[in-house]
A and B are shown apart, each in its own frame.
Chain A
Amino acid sequence: MSESLFDRIGGETAVDAAVDLFYRKVLADDRINSWFEGTDMERQHAKQKAFLTMALGGPNNYTGRDMREGHAHLVAKGLNDSHFDAVMENLGATLTELGVPADLIGEAAAIAESTRNDVLGK
């Protein structure tokens, strides 16, 4: 593969376009928005951007341990597969809305999916 997923998708410009759209979907989704109640929206927005950057194959240095530690307090409160599925669905819907080709969406979904066990502390 000559060009990374991140470059083929449009790099940081694409992430910038996606992050507001994605975060709006998350906030409007009653299956998961209660997890974001009371959090600082600006900080959360930056974290959503970091998540999308990672899912789109962009620069990040997250480790499995970061994912585990970062979500452990939420797992303790009941974060489970159904919530992860909802986030995956919003990710797919965001990229579809932006006109990203299906095969690239599949690649992004696979990257996000690869964090499932660490995020859910399995």
Chain B
Amino acid sequence: MAKITYSEQTFEINKDESVLECLARHGVELSSSCRAGVCQTCMVKATAGTNPPAEAQAGLKPQLQKQGYFLACICKPGQDLSFVNPDDSALPQIAATVVSKTRFNDNIIRLRLKPESEFDFQPGQFLNIHREDGLARSYSIASLPQEGYLELHVELVENGKMSNWLHNQVAMGGKLNIDGPHGDCFYIDDKPEQNLLLVGTGTGLAPLWGIIRDALSKGHKGEIHLFHGSHSTDKIYLVDELKQLAKLHSNFFYTPCISGEDTHGFSAGRANEVALSEIPKLDGYRVYLCGHPEMVSSAKKKTFLAGASMNDIHADAFTLSNS
């Protein structure tokens, strides 16, 4: 008989019983609604090393399937399965060393970390940095696995505890604790002909820089359109590198946008608005939205209304912290 493990409790699951039913039989409540594998209310995540049956992942985004997400109500595992509630899935912390710290501009640094143990990730996912006093913040990964380091772009936030510490205190050779990776904002090579639209503001460019280079390195054939926005010309970054990338790849198009007054030869306006005015019809597109939460939320709705399928929209908004 197969066993299921959830929240440090292990139960024997009956033949033809779903994971959701088994938990309920043991008095463990997991939120559910349709109980027919559609509404995704009971979605949980298999822990590394165990695999849910493929039919329990039907209808989920491929990015979620790849990370072991499945629906408890339609999961009848033939073998042992261990899983967690994705909302409280704390991953173990590992140590990482700062191997490079350079400056894009006055506000943004490029930090490269070398994890001291194995760290499997997809470019565009994010990790959490933990300081010894318990302070933790999330940063997206801009590098590719084959580059051998984790690249983060850190913007200095006024009164931001973590960003001030990373900018001013942490030096080359410094040790940090990280956990991750998290998130489903990454490239997947199941449709190489699909057109991609990527919109980012500020250091929302970090995950997109990872996703674009990942797609190109995997031979993506469809068009890749990046719209990156900043308030002013002194804050926009990676411009030369992105222009160079657009020269090398005929299917990559780069549009830097400035929302402030002095646009200095860049496209004028907010990146999400410029993107939608240049590409008003998004049928069949895969969309990536990263950066300020208001931009992400508004662009999610507008790109969906412009024809992108909800399963093809991936978003990663900054978390604005009050503490």
Do A and B interact with each other, yes or no? Answer: yes
Instruction: Point out residues on A near B: beta carbons under 8 Å.
Output: 12, 19-20, 23-24, 27-28, 41-43, 45-47, 49-50, 53-54, 58-62, 66, 70
Q: How far is the CB of A34 from chain B (nearest CB, A)?
A: 13
> Is B300 an interface residue, CB under 8 A from the partner?
yes
Q: List 25 A-B contacts (CB under 8 A).
A: A19-B310, A27-B304, A28-B305, A41-B300, A42-B310, A42-B313, A43-B40, A46-B38, A46-B40, A47-B33, A47-B41, A49-B38, A50-B33, A50-B36, A50-B39, A58-B36, A59-B37, A60-B34, A60-B35, A60-B36, A60-B38, A61-B35, A62-B34, A66-B33, A70-B33
Contact with B301, one of A19, A41, A50 (Cβ below 8 angstroms): A41
CA A19 to CA B59, docked complex, whole Å: 12
Are A61 and B36 in contact, with the CB atoms below 8 A?
yes
A33: nearest chain-B partner, CB-CB: B301
Are B36 and A45 in contact, with the CB atoms below 8 A?
no
In the complex, which residues of chain B have a beta carbon less than 8 angstroms from the beta carbon of A58? 36, 38
In the complex, which residues of chain B have a beta carbon less than 8 angstroms from the beta carbon of A70? 33
Q: Is the interface of A mostly helix, strand, loop or mixed?
A: helix
> Is B128 an interface residue, CB under 8 A from the partner?
no
Contact residue range for chain B? 10 to 19
Contact with A53, one of B38, B301, B310, B313 (Cβ below 8 angstroms): B38
A-B residue pairs, 8 tightest by C-beta: A50-B39, A46-B40, A61-B35, A59-B36, A50-B34, A50-B38, A45-B310, A60-B36
Q: What 19 new A-B contacts, CB under 8 Å, besides A20-B310, A41-B310, A46-B40?
A: A19-B310, A20-B304, A24-B304, A27-B304, A28-B305, A42-B313, A46-B38, A46-B39, A46-B41, A47-B39, A49-B59, A50-B39, A53-B38, A58-B38, A59-B36, A60-B35, A61-B34, A61-B36, A62-B34
The residues in B between 18 and 59 inclusive whose CB is less than 8 angstroms from any CB of A are 33-41, 59
> Is B14 an interface residue, CB under 8 A from the partner?
no
In the complex with contacts A20-B309, A41-B310, A53-B36 CB distance below 8 A: yes
CA A43 to CA B43, docked complex, whole Å: 11
CA A54 to CA B301, docked complex, whole Å: 25
Q: How far is the CB of A22 from chain B (nearest CB, A)?
A: 11
In the complex, which residues of chain B have a beta carbon less than 8 angstroms from the beta carbon of A66? 33
CA A70 to CA B32, docked complex, whole Å: 11
Are A49 and B39 in contact, with the CB atoms below 8 A?
yes
Are B34 and A23 in contact, with the CB atoms below 8 A?
no
CA A42 to CA B185, docked complex, whole Å: 13
CA A15 to CA B32, docked complex, whole Å: 20
CA A61 to CA B37, docked complex, whole Å: 10
In the complex, which residues of chain B have a beta carbon less than 8 angstroms from the beta carbon of A43? 40-41
CA A20 to CA B309, docked complex, whole Å: 6
Q: Which of B37, B39, B41 has the most CB of A within 10 A?
A: B39
A44: nearest chain-B partner, CB-CB: B310
In the complex, which residues of chain A have a beta carbon less than 8 angstroms from the beta carbon of B34? 50, 53-54, 60-62
CA A25 to CA B254, docked complex, whole Å: 32
Q: How far is the CB of B198 from chain A (nearest CB, A)?
A: 18
Are A24 and B36 in contact, with the CB atoms below 8 A?
no
Q: How far is the CB of A4 from chain B (nearest CB, A)?
A: 14
CA A59 to CA B34, docked complex, whole Å: 9
CA A41 to CA B300, docked complex, whole Å: 8
Q: Which of B40, B305, B313 has the most CB of A within 10 A?
A: B40
CA A42 to CA B316, docked complex, whole Å: 13
In the complex, which residues of chain B have a beta carbon less than 8 angstroms from the beta carbon of A42? 310, 313
CA A114 to CA B34, docked complex, whole Å: 17
In the complex, which residues of chain B have a beta carbon less than 8 angstroms from the beta carbon of A28? 305
A66: nearest chain-B partner, CB-CB: B33
B306: nearest chain-A partner, CB-CB: A24
B61: nearest chain-A partner, CB-CB: A42
CA A62 to CA B313, docked complex, whole Å: 28
CA A58 to CA B40, docked complex, whole Å: 16
A28: nearest chain-B partner, CB-CB: B305
CA A70 to CA B40, docked complex, whole Å: 15
In the complex, which residues of chain B have a beta carbon less than 8 angstroms from the beta carbon of A47? 33, 39, 41
